[in-house]
Amino acid sequence: MTGFKCIIKKTLYTAGMCTCLLFFSCAGIPVSSSSGSEKVITNFMPSGNLQYYIRPGKMISSDFKTDKAFVLIDFTYQKSNRDYVSDAYTNFTIAYKTTAFVRAAYFKINDNKIIPLINISLLSRNIKQNHIRVSSVLPCDCIDEVLKKLEMSQAVLEIEFDDGSIKTFLPTKDLTERITDVFSK
């Protein structure tokens, strides 16, 4: 009888492990396809929330004709139905010829309201290639307002550098289309 109990225990253990493996492997399956042409990727999270990833969209410098500077910006956040339930990780890559470091970044809304990005940290920097990659956080209670204002081209991203300079970046059609797409999901 002892051998039979051992077989039962091993069978139950194996079935339990297979169930756990199946659950955890399905937890991050994209709701939409994640081909390279997708502007927005959504994933179902184990918490029951949907995670939204707005793939990098372009913002150009207000002096683009002379400096050719631009930013590629992306947003990752979670929602439960209509409610934002997490801050938005807001990462951006700056293509700009400078030796300075990013000191601060914020969105300026058309009525001169400032919404700061917090927890700014340098991810990578290459002066020779004119690129700086930065990670930051957009607080949960500001996500909807910033995205809607960017979609309507009524917000800009301002970046302050440690040399005292400030660069302003304007949303392009590329970014506004990505945001329109996220609001349709």
More confident residue, 1 or 156: 156
- Tell whether the model's pLDDT for residue 24 goes beyond 60: no
For every residue of 95-128, DSSP letters joined together read E---S--EEEEEEEETTS-EEE-EEEEEEEEETT
Give dist(CA 66, CA 57) in Å, integer: 21
Give residue 2's pLDDT band: very low, low, confident or very high (50, 70, 90): low
Q: Note the pLDDT of residue 110.
A: 83
180 or 28, which is more confident? 180
The token duo for 166 is: 């400030």
pLDDT tens-digit readout, 116-140: 999 999 999 999 999 999 999 999 9
What pTM was computed for the model?
0.79
User: What are residue 30's DSSP bridge partners?
Assistant: 43
Q: Which residues pair with 88 in a beta bridge?
A: 138
| Each residue's pLDDT tens digit, 35-74 | 457 899 999 999 999 999 999 999 999 999 999 999 999 9
Q: Which two tokens stand for residue 4?
A: 């039979």
Q: Give the pLDDT confidence score for residue 112 in this predicted structure.
A: 87
